[in-house]
Amino acid sequence: MAKIELTQPYTTLPRGGYIVDTSVGYIQFGSPPETIKDSMFLPRSTPLIFVLPNRFFHVTKGISVAELEFPIYYNHFLRQKKTYVVCTREQKEQLMVVLEEAVFGPPDVDLRSEYILAEKTYGFPDIKAEMEYFRGNRYLDDLVKFVIFQDNRVKINNVTITKNTDGTFDINDETRAKRTQIQGEVGYNIIYDTGERMPEPYKPPLLGITCLGPSHGFDPEDNTSGFLLWINHQGIMVDPPVDSTEWLRKSNVNPRLINSIILTHCHADHDAGTFQKILEEGKITIYSTETVMHSFIRKYTALTRIPVKELLTLFDFVPVIIGKPYIINGAEFRFNYALHSIPSLSFEFSFQDQSFIYSSDHLNDPQKFLDMYKKGILTESRFRELMDFPWHHNIIYHEAGIPPLHTRVDFLKTLPEDIQKKITVYHIARKDMPPDTNLTLAKFGIENTVYPPITPPKHEEAYRLLDVLSNIDIFRDFPIGKAKEFIAVIHEEHFKRGDSIIRKNTPGDKFYIIMSGNVKVEGMETSDVQQGEVLKRYGSYEYFGETSLILDQPRSADVLAETDVVALTIEKTRFLNFIKGSNLVQRFTQLSEVRRSGTWDVLTNSRFFKGITSAQKTQLELIMETGNFGKGDLLIEQGKVFQHSFIIKTGQVEVVSAGNTIEVLNRGDFCGEIYRMQKEAPSNYDFRATDYLEVYSLERHKIIEYIANNPGVYMRLNYVYGQ
């Protein structure tokens, strides 16, 4: 890690946030994830004073920019110092919820409903006693002191911090006769070891494990721990570290290949990447217990200010029961609670002739178990279960770290040699890994994915084809009987990089679904596009070629293989027969019409929609209808419930509150309040056309259904006008 040079008047940290060197020490403004890795090597170490930014949550990145868990841990446990947090009273209330959950766990916890036989289940823990043991006599006041703005001002010795009306901060250091201004919003820069980018899009294996990060939250040299399980050619993220989704894209891994997350517990190094994945593309499924999920929801409701009910609609939650098996991607999973400072899940699974266990964050120490049992902290069955760790599994992923919250790597070294050879160690820095061991340190990168030998299941190919069908949005509501027909009518075709798949102006003869690889669409579809310009790019689980089949017209663009491509194709007659009886003919006809008006260009260059994927754009185009308004017309009226929202094609819209224009919207901007639309609540604003206006109209029930399937778009549209 390169040393950070302090600059005047302030230093911008590599990952984001600002540090001002003052007479009372460093003051840090904003704290995006992992900035502790930047600041801990400053001449006077990590700051003890943090000023919270005006907004906690970075919507585009899906992260908190007030992540203080690790600075507070570091200052308290390693430096025996208290952290000072400068903020408003409202921000204090938000952050206290986050810190209480992360540092001490949920205030009320009852696991009886989470065990198959309640408290009679073998291994049932006294979780409150265990949490109290790790907590000791600590309270949040021992770790952090909140300093509240009074009349937008705080004074710490001879340093005054002023919160200005424009959102900026002034720092006046009387001792040094120095005045500094800091902006009120904090960005975030990704610093992530991306490893090697695969030359071709990644093809998930039948079984594999990809390390997303091998180390802990204080290691500046490596990514924080987390991994990907590939089972039956689909991905399951386990406690993804921050920016895992960004890294996967850079590594040529299509995010749609990952449909699930296992969330083991709610420390920032384990849950930050989870929220990012929720907001990425498509609705994912999260497996966890209700206790862990409630902690997660409390944290992110406090951070985002999204109500609990709305937050829960952004993903599908499967509440797991200890002692009950769960089938995920064809493998049988079982979950248990590890021994940690807050409720933390371990799990094991079997798939074909392989078995796997992950310890999660866990104190695995037989002597400590005995001590805790004698003190009455561990119940007898819990003690016996912890002593009998299932070392019999073929593949063992075990964390290691600093006790008393983690397992000493020295303990893992004492295990029999044959067991050590099965263990991959996580959550430990390379420098702390002993050289004379049979243990294996997890190695980051898609190129270092581990592929255990495995016997293919009986119906592997049918499973893969049905997986493709289930991931195509237009077929989502097809009856199960269509699955058999789908398998009967498809053909698999292979294209090399650079191959022409479709030529413009030729007859349409096939419908295409991409199983793997990327294609690019070139040609002229609208008046906005120049000949030869790349219109679109499509990847796995996306489709193309439907328009000319339905409208019986020549192909309107060229489609080329941008990489090696495996596609499922359906011949024209069979495709039309397959969709007969559905509304797809009507929908695709409307899609063709609306695309001629330039929808793709509007969405691609919109500040609200430019980051969404090509599949999400296509889904949105399917519900867009053209319309127009005259100068002065109201699109949405303040105080009234509205049934349509709008995307501007040409012209401008004033957003008016109490007679005052608070914002002017332009091409590609979204008109409407998505939260109030969901609730059928009256609008807070007038939306008025300033001149002749062309728009795309979105019906209420259609846009609500769309954002239910695309939660990341919901966050983009949950926009506060005038801020």
Give the model confidence (pLDDT) of 82-119 as tens digits.
Answer: 999 999 999 999 999 999 998 899 989 999 999 999 99
CATH number at residue 646: 2.60.120.10
**Do 280 and 372 share a domain, yes or no?**
yes
Shared domain for 440 and 349, answered yes or no, is yes
- pTM: predicted TM-score of the whole model, two decimal places: 0.90
Tokens 């921000």 label which residue?
Answer: 91
CA atoms within 13 A on the CB side of 507: 4
Residue 492 has a pLDDT of: 95
Same domain, 172 and 268: no
Confidence of residue 527 (pLDDT cuts 50, 70, 90): very low
Backbone angles phi, psi at 95, to 5 degrees: -70, -30
Residue that wins the pLDDT comparison between 523 and 707: 707
Residues 6+ apart with CB under 8 A from 291: 106, 109, 111, 114, 343
CB 181 within 8 A of CB 166: no
Mean pLDDT of the chain: 91
* Last-in-domain residue among 415, 448, 481: 448
Query: Where among 402, 424, 448 does a domain terminate?
Result: 448
**Whole-number pLDDT of residue 329:** 94
CA distance 563 to 518: 6
Whether residue 98 sits in one domain with residue 65: yes
Distance separating the N- and C-terminal Cα atoms of the chain:
37
pLDDT tens digits for range 421-470: 999 999 999 999 998 889 999 999 899 999 999 999 988 888 888 888 88
**Domain stops at, among 448, 483, 513:** 448
Task: Kindly state whether residue 629 falls inside one of the protein's structural domains.
Answer: yes
Is residue 606 a part of any domain in this protein?
no
Q: How far apart are CA 359 and CA 390, in angstroms?
A: 10
Asked whether the predicted pLDDT for residue 327 surpasses 80, the reply is yes
Residue 534's pLDDT is 60
Domain presence at residue 163 = yes
Alpha-carbon gap, residue 688 to 656, rounded angstroms: 8
**Residue 600, domain member (yes or no):** no
Task: Give mean pLDDT, residues 169-196.
Answer: 83
Q: For residue 525, what pLDDT is reported?
A: 47
Domain identity same for 276 and 307: yes
Strand partners, 228: 210, 237
Task: Tell me the residue type at 31.
Answer: S
- Please give the pLDDT value at position 436: 85
Residue 687 backbone dihedrals phi, psi, to 5 degrees? -115, 110
Domain limits for position 118 = 11-182
Q: Under the phi-then-psi rule, with left for phi > 0, alpha for psi from -120 to 50, and beta for the rest, what region is 532?
A: left
pLDDT at 612 over 90: no
Please give the average per-residue pLDDT across 298-325, as a whole number.
92
- In whole angstroms, what is the distance from residue 505 CA to residue 555 CA? 5
Q: Is 187 a member of any domain?
A: no
211 and 359 fall within a common domain:
yes
Residue 397 shares a structural domain with residue 344: yes
Given pLDDT bands bounded at 50, 70 and 90, which one contains residue 3?
low
Confirm whether 198 is domain-assigned. Answer: no
Tell me the two tokens of residue 480.
Answer: 């199960």
User: What pLDDT, on a 0 to 100 scale, did the predictor assign at position 723?
Assistant: 67
Q: What is the percent of the chain where pLDDT is above 90?
A: 67
> Is residue 374 packed enough to be buried (19+ CB in 10 Å), middle (13-18) or exposed (0-12)?
exposed
List CB contacts of 481: < 8 A, sequence separation 6 or more: none
| Domain annotation covers residue 201 | no
pLDDT at residue 582 is higher than 70 = yes
Whether the predicted pLDDT of 530 surpasses 60: no
Number of folded domains in the chain? 4
Largest interatomic CA distance in the chain: 82
Calculate mean pLDDT across residues 261-276.
Answer: 91
The encoded tokens of residue 512 equal: 């295409």
Q: What is the pLDDT of residue 378?
A: 97
C-alpha dihedral sign at 94, 98, 99, 101: positive
Smallest Cα–Cα separation from 450: which of 199, 237, 261, 206?
Answer: 206
Mean pLDDT on 619-645:
96
- Whether 390 and 532 map to the same domain: the answer is no
Determine phi and psi for 85, rounding to 5 degrees. -115, 115
pLDDT at 528: 47
Report the length, in residues, of the chain: 723
pLDDT band at residue 193 under the 50/70/90 scheme: low
Say whether both 440 and 467 belong to one domain: no
Mean pLDDT of 407-432: 95
382 band by pLDDT with thresholds 50, 70 and 90: very high
Decide if pLDDT at 243 tops 90: no
Instruction: Give the Cα separation of 533 and 697 in Å (integer).
Output: 28
User: Domain check: are 364 and 479 in the same one?
Assistant: no
More confident: 565 or 478:
565
Q: Please give the pLDDT value at position 529.
A: 46
The reported pLDDT for the residue numbered 362 is 96
CA dist 136 and 71 (Å) reads: 20
**Are 229 and 366 in the same domain?**
yes
Domain co-membership, 320 together with 423: yes
Lowest-pLDDT choice from 173-182, 190-199, 293-302, 586-595: 190-199
At residue 232, the pLDDT reads 94
**Does residue 657 fall inside a structural domain?**
yes
Q: What value does the mean pLDDT take over residues 404-432? A: 94
